[in-house]
Amino acid sequence: MIVRTRLESSHLAGNLLGDPSERDLFVYLPRGYEESDRRYPTAYLLHAYGQTAEQVVTPDTDGQRWSPPIEDVLDPVFGRMGVPPMIVVIPDGNSRYGCGQWVDSPVTGNFEQYVVNDVVPFVDANHRTIPDSRSRGLFGFSSGGFGSWNLASRNPDVFAAMAVLSADTFLDMTHKFMPYKYLDSIWPEAPDGPVEGNFWSEIVYDYAACYSPNPDRPPHYVDLPVAHPSGELIQDVWDRWLSFDPVVNVHDRLDNLRKLSGILLDAGSNDDYSLYWGHRLLSHHLNAAGIAHEHRENPGNHGGRANERFQVALQWLSRVLEGD
Amino acid sequence: MIVRTRLESSHLAGNLLGDPSERDLFVYLPRGYEESDRRYPTAYLLHAYGQTAEQVVTPDTDGQRWSPPIEDVLDPVFGRMGVPPMIVVIPDGNSRYGCGQWVDSPVTGNFEQYVVNDVVPFVDANHRTIPDSRSRGLFGFSSGGFGSWNLASRNPDVFAAMAVLSADTFLDMTHKFMPYKYLDSIWPEAPDGPVEGNFWSEIVYDYAACYSPNPDRPPHYVDLPVAHPSGELIQDVWDRWLSFDPVVNVHDRLDNLRKLSGILLDAGSNDDYSLYWGHRLLSHHLNAAGIAHEHRENPGNHGGRANERFQVALQWLSRVLEGD
Amino acid sequence: MIVRTRLESSHLAGNLLGDPSERDLFVYLPRGYEESDRRYPTAYLLHAYGQTAEQVVTPDTDGQRWSPPIEDVLDPVFGRMGVPPMIVVIPDGNSRYGCGQWVDSPVTGNFEQYVVNDVVPFVDANHRTIPDSRSRGLFGFSSGGFGSWNLASRNPDVFAAMAVLSADTFLDMTHKFMPYKYLDSIWPEAPDGPVEGNFWSEIVYDYAACYSPNPDRPPHYVDLPVAHPSGELIQDVWDRWLSFDPVVNVHDRLDNLRKLSGILLDAGSNDDYSLYWGHRLLSHHLNAAGIAHEHRENPGNHGGRANERFQVALQWLSRVLEGD
Amino acid sequence: MIVRTRLESSHLAGNLLGDPSERDLFVYLPRGYEESDRRYPTAYLLHAYGQTAEQVVTPDTDGQRWSPPIEDVLDPVFGRMGVPPMIVVIPDGNSRYGCGQWVDSPVTGNFEQYVVNDVVPFVDANHRTIPDSRSRGLFGFSSGGFGSWNLASRNPDVFAAMAVLSADTFLDMTHKFMPYKYLDSIWPEAPDGPVEGNFWSEIVYDYAACYSPNPDRPPHYVDLPVAHPSGELIQDVWDRWLSFDPVVNVHDRLDNLRKLSGILLDAGSNDDYSLYWGHRLLSHHLNAAGIAHEHRENPGNHGGRANERFQVALQWLSRVLEGD
């Protein structure tokens, strides 16, 4: 059963994009929840770029029926797969540019604070969770994997484990081409905000709104990391992007990471953006610091099988989080 | 719950490929089956080229977990989707070349007779089906959609409905290039049987073993539809292939088709093999004959979403088959 | 030196597309022509789909300079390559749909008659050719190769040799998909003439205007070989296309072909349209009829190296045509 | 006419790859050279990665005839294009790994010194050049364009002009992925020298042999810029690569560049490696320093039309070099 509520957040209020500060919040209660009074570990599912929580939970189920509702993904985990029951929380992190990337930004909204300070207390107050960090984990694919890293590595007192699935990592190799793709797509015009239907423009403005916001530069409120028309990399803007990159900020967060009870890195060795290189490098840095973690590669690409990865991630989370 | 049995078939015995005549047979019993004594409509799921029934039912569920077990596909149909319960039967149609195409062949085995004369009676005898053609339907994707057409259009007294999903159709446009791809792949060598790991060679020998078998031509027992090295199309062999093509044999089976209570044609408009053209033409011929059917197109390609199509097909089958 | 003239043709007059009946005609005179009074063999270069004679002879030579003027291609043939000098004639076969395909059509114009009855007599009358079929040959790439086949195989008394380069052949395998590509490109709209900038629509209307013209069907004056929206192949229209296919009409022209002093078939084994299969089959049929010819394959694709093939073709033509 | 000689070079002797120190040297003498006693400006053509001077000058001219001999490219420049005659020199810069990149390296050989100190004096001593830097220029495509930049920007007293065509530039964006492609291609094996037929391995070892040679590390004598298996970028090695990058070293060579009489930057806006971004950035830096130059973009990609670019480059060089 999934309970849908709406949550108003002061941390999202006032975002410069004018996106809503009241958001959907979905809470999956495992079979047996109603009949018992036990408490459950909780897994937070952070969705990917371009999605909303609603689309994850209740995709259109008309004749097309491409994506199953998330319950069809979760039920077998706690059913046929035999994983002990957990509560799964699905917050909304959408932005009009695609995704708030689960970080704090004056432009898109403070999504980190929103999850940590609004969502978690609300869930603990309203559902029979085990209200302790040792029983609270994160998982997500792509931007959701990136968000899992960001939230857990900065808030180990809130989340004890993260399953990082095909996450945005090693931006210097995997994302630096994107602003150039954007310029190519509009050349010889000058950049002037995201162009509807132009993927590269939307994702670049999305990242910039999250990683290099500039409240003093209306109407788009961002600094882009490349100059136009020279194409020069603007190093100080790019460095702001890099500060969010797991392979960069891992070095400053070792103490936090050591506190976690579980880190899973899982990426496809055919990932379209070569994100496996980021995962490998992250694993290397964790090993160098003596931080235990699990590093897996699967034969997949970036596009497919996120639902199946969620199932695997929950199976793993259940082992590293404390039950009652 | 899925019941696995093994079924020995005289209709498969003696196939010239030496493939086993004893095969897996899986029967999915819907929730509540055990607690009731009611009888259920039955849907036969015919798998695609390159698969086995076992792979459909119990794919590897290790860390990779790409494909869910078929129960995870079927349970939500009769659960969250609210479809009245049915029995779903999953016979095995594998051949060492890829697939028996659910037709009779002295080389690969008589799969049509196997399903009609062995599987159906066995299922009716051992499970609480409604043992009547009006309550018996077929569905399948790709070669499984082709097989559904073949079985229902030839045996309307056994099956009353078929959901034909992205089926091999209009071979003259969608499959004629394949033998040439095969020749290209081995050129300048002469054809000499399927080459392991060479997709084009395997699928061409597979089709030939099903559509143009030649028991007098060891060791491969097939006639290929193109001459080597001239590349001339061997029209009489190609005509044997075409005789299995739904857009060709539809004209001779109108009386049978009229007896059916339901025909669903469903294809992706981005199908990699342009199979939507075959479906459109088939729909055109059915319309010309005044035969009611449902013709749908979805935005998918050939590779993906077969499980989701199965769910849609079952929802549809449930409406056209008679319940108890 | 290239002499440019304009030639008015009664055979092109009245074409239903309203294309001009006066055309460019370019004649390349080899080095030494002016200083001698000898007579030369003549090679007719038939250009490809989408070109004009002018573009072949004098492509833009601005800063971009992609294509060299044809003199830069021909001079080395009769210079560094040491080929005895020939006159090279470059008629114009353009149509507003792309190309008249060097055949007779009431819609695009009678290009076969134009070349045979207008161009050849004009050239013989105005330049020191050897005015004899044994000293007259044809060459061309793609549609120009197709045109070379059409003209020589029907007029062996006019042309004694043809170099058929990557020609449209085996249409049943290499071209039948094109009308479907066109329908796909406009779907769900109905066909309504060529769409500017839509390659598939332009080439299909072009072929139809040449192969299946219908003067009684304004405003486009063509029969298309596929029905809309069923996608059914209209066999009698398709058969009209096939009647122009070298691998089909070869059988009716064996007597003509026997009269030729040279046939060169040359195609790339990576041709994007698999035209090598047409060339192989054509070679097979010629062999079966005991007609000597040269069949070559090179590693090229369809797009590139036409100029280099022209050089090779002229070298070969020089050997099979009679000099003075 | 092209004169072929062999030149032994002390600057190539002792290279650690054991490549020959005696090399081909081709000198193209324009029409009329023999009949006059005038002196000519000289253009040095630097070939690309994977080539030899011999392949440029006399490619195979058998039935395949893909590439014309360089004379067929040069003759029209000084003929139909009307460019005043020049001497064109074609040195050999091949290495067993692909190309010496026209830089000095103890591993591949000192190709800069070879051209400057061996080739130029030899040509001036043996042919009627105008033996002055103002009459001496460079041109090349891809690695040859890179080499033109390297030689002219470091030796303005020797060369007064350079035509930089689709040159390796902005390595941080256009080349950094290559070592990762190499690792991907051999994964999970460890790097162990160039693998025959593996393009990525060969080009990475080639660049490393030129940009980050390490005579103390037999048997391959290179430092690779990425660590194995972590994939970490080894910044100090990568910085050595970058020191050869035109967009990096331009800043240190402004005084030299100011001495030149001509700089042409020409790249295709569809370049497969996005080298147009490097050219744009280089143009930006030159503009910022007030250094006049010509910056052109054409619609081409990386693969094609190098010969046509050579023709355009020579036309341009002729304008900026001093004649007699």
Contacts B182 to C, Cβ<8 Å: none
Could you count the other beta carbons within 10 Å of the beta carbon of residue C249?
A: 15
The tens digit of pLDDT for each residue in D276-285 reads: 999 999 999 9
The rounded mean pLDDT for chain D is 96
Rg (CA), chain D: 19
The tens digit of pLDDT for each residue in D185-223 reads: 999 999 999 999 999 999 999 999 999 999 999 999 999
Model confidence, pTM: 0.94
Angle between helices C306-320 and C70-78 (to 10 degrees): 40
Q: With CB atoms and an 8 Å threshold, state whether C173 touches B172.
A: no
Q: With CB atoms and an 8 Å threshold, state whether A173 touches D172.
A: no
Amino acid in position B324? D
Mean of pLDDT values over D24-39: 96
Contacts C76 to D, Cβ<8 Å: 68-69, 71-72, 75
The band of B62, judged by pLDDT with boundaries at 50, 70 and 90, is low
Scanning every residue of chain D, which has its alpha carbon at the shortest distance from the alpha carbon of C301? D66
Q: Sign of the C-alpha dihedral, residues C165, C171, C175, C177?
A: negative
**Can you tell me which residue has the tokens 């332009």?**
C202
The tens digit of pLDDT for each residue in C196-241 reads: 999 999 999 999 999 999 999 999 999 999 999 999 999 999 999 9
Amino acid in position A241? W
pLDDT of D66 reads 81
pLDDT of A324 reads 82
Cβ contact C247:C169 at 8 Å: yes
The tens digit of pLDDT for each residue in A7-36 reads: 999 999 999 999 999 999 999 999 999 999
Give every strand in the sheet of A136-141, ordered side by side: A2-8, A22-28, A87-91, A42-46, A136-141, A161-165, A262-268, A294-298
pLDDT of A210 reads 98
pLDDT of C248 reads 98
Q: With CB atoms and an 8 Å threshold, state whether D75 touches C71.
A: no
What are the backbone dihedrals phi and psi of residue A119, each rounded to the nearest 5 degrees, phi first? -70, -50
Q: With CB atoms and an 8 Å threshold, state whether D231 touches A277.
A: yes
The band of C250, judged by pLDDT with boundaries at 50, 70 and 90, is very high
Q: With CB atoms and an 8 Å threshold, state whether A180 touches D277.
A: yes
Q: Which of A172, A173, A231 shows the shortest C-beta gap to D281?
A: A231
Residue C62 has pLDDT above 90, yes or no: no
What are the backbone dihedrals phi and psi of residue A68, each rounded to the nearest 5 degrees, phi first? -75, 150
Touch test C–D: 3 Cβ pairs or more under 8 Å: yes
Q: With CB atoms and an 8 Å threshold, state whether D76 touches C68.
A: yes
For residue D321, the distance in angstroms to the closest alpha carbon of chain C comes to: 19
Interface test with D, best of C60, C78, C80, C317 (most D CBs within 10 A): C80
What tokens appear for C231 in the block?
A: 């996608």
pLDDT of D166 reads 97
The tens digit of pLDDT for each residue in C259-271 reads: 999 999 999 999 9
Contacts A184 to D, Cβ<8 Å: 274
Q: Which of D65, D76, D300 shows the shortest C-beta gap to C72?
A: D76
Amino acid in position D43? A
Interface test with C, best of D57, D60, D72 (most C CBs within 10 A): D72
Q: C-side interface with B, Cβ within 8 Å?
A: 170, 172-173, 176-177, 180, 184, 187, 229-233, 269, 274, 277, 280-281, 284
Give every strand in the sheet of C42-46, ordered side by side: C2-8, C22-28, C87-91, C42-46, C136-141, C161-165, C262-268, C294-298
The tens digit of pLDDT for each residue in B133-176 reads: 999 999 999 999 999 999 999 999 999 999 999 999 999 999 99
What's the number of CA atoms in the CB half-sphere (13 Å) around residue A196? Answer: 0
Interface test with D, best of A176, A178, A230 (most D CBs within 10 A): A230
pLDDT of C11 reads 97
The band of D275, judged by pLDDT with boundaries at 50, 70 and 90, is very high
**Can you tell me which residue has the tokens 């070095």?**
A251
How many C×D Cβ pairs under 8 Å?
47
pLDDT of D62 reads 67
The tens digit of pLDDT for each residue in D90-119 reads: 999 999 999 999 999 999 999 999 999 999
For residue B135, the distance in angstroms to the closest alpha carbon of chain A comes to: 22
The band of C67, judged by pLDDT with boundaries at 50, 70 and 90, is confident
pLDDT of A62 reads 67
Question: How far is B13 from B22, CA to CA, in rounded Å?
Answer: 8
What tokens appear for B12 in the block?
A: 């498969």
Q: What is the DSSP string of A148-211?
A: HHHHHHH-TTT--EEEEES----HHHHTTHHHHHHHHHHTTSPP-SPPTT-HHHHHHHHHHHHH
Amino acid in position D82? G
The band of B114, judged by pLDDT with boundaries at 50, 70 and 90, is very high
**Can you tell me which residue has the tokens 């130059």?**
D293
pLDDT of A192 reads 92
Residue B188 has pLDDT above 80, yes or no: yes
Scanning every residue of chain A, which has its alpha carbon at the shortest distance from the alpha carbon of D170? A232
What tokens appear for D27 in the block?
A: 């000198």
pLDDT of D51 reads 95
Scanning every residue of chain B, which has its alpha carbon at the shortest distance from the alpha carbon of C270? B184
Q: With CB atoms and an 8 Å threshold, state whether B281 touches C173.
A: no
The tens digit of pLDDT for each residue in C156-201 reads: 999 999 999 999 999 999 999 999 999 999 999 999 999 999 999 9
- What percent of chain C has a predicted confidence (pLDDT) above 70? 99
The rounded mean pLDDT for chain C is 96
The tens digit of pLDDT for each residue in A136-165 reads: 999 999 999 999 999 999 999 999 999 999
For residue D164, the Cα-to-chain-centroid distance in whole angstroms is: 9
Residue D303 has pLDDT above 80, yes or no: no
Residue D141 has pLDDT above 80, yes or no: yes
Rg (CA), chain A: 19
The tens digit of pLDDT for each residue in C81-138 reads: 999 999 999 999 999 999 999 999 999 999 999 999 999 999 999 999 999 999 999 9
pLDDT of C60 reads 78
Interface test with D, best of A172, A177, A270, A271 (most D CBs within 10 A): A177
Contacts D317 to C, Cβ<8 Å: none
Q: Among A63-67, B14-18, B33-37, C66-70, which stretch is predicted with the lowest mean pLDDT?
A: A63-67
pLDDT of B132 reads 98
Residue A305 has pLDDT above 90, yes or no: no
Mean of pLDDT values over D253-263: 98
The tens digit of pLDDT for each residue in B231-283 reads: 999 999 999 999 999 999 999 999 999 999 999 999 999 999 999 999 999 99
Residue A83 has pLDDT above 70, yes or no: yes
Angle at C275 (CA atoms; ends C271, C279), nearest 5 degrees: 125
Contacts of residue C16, Cβ cutoff 8 Å, sequence gap at least 6:
C106, C107, C213, C215, C221
What's the number of CA atoms in the CB half-sphere (13 Å) around residue D181? Answer: 13
Contacts B80 to A, Cβ<8 Å: 69, 71-72
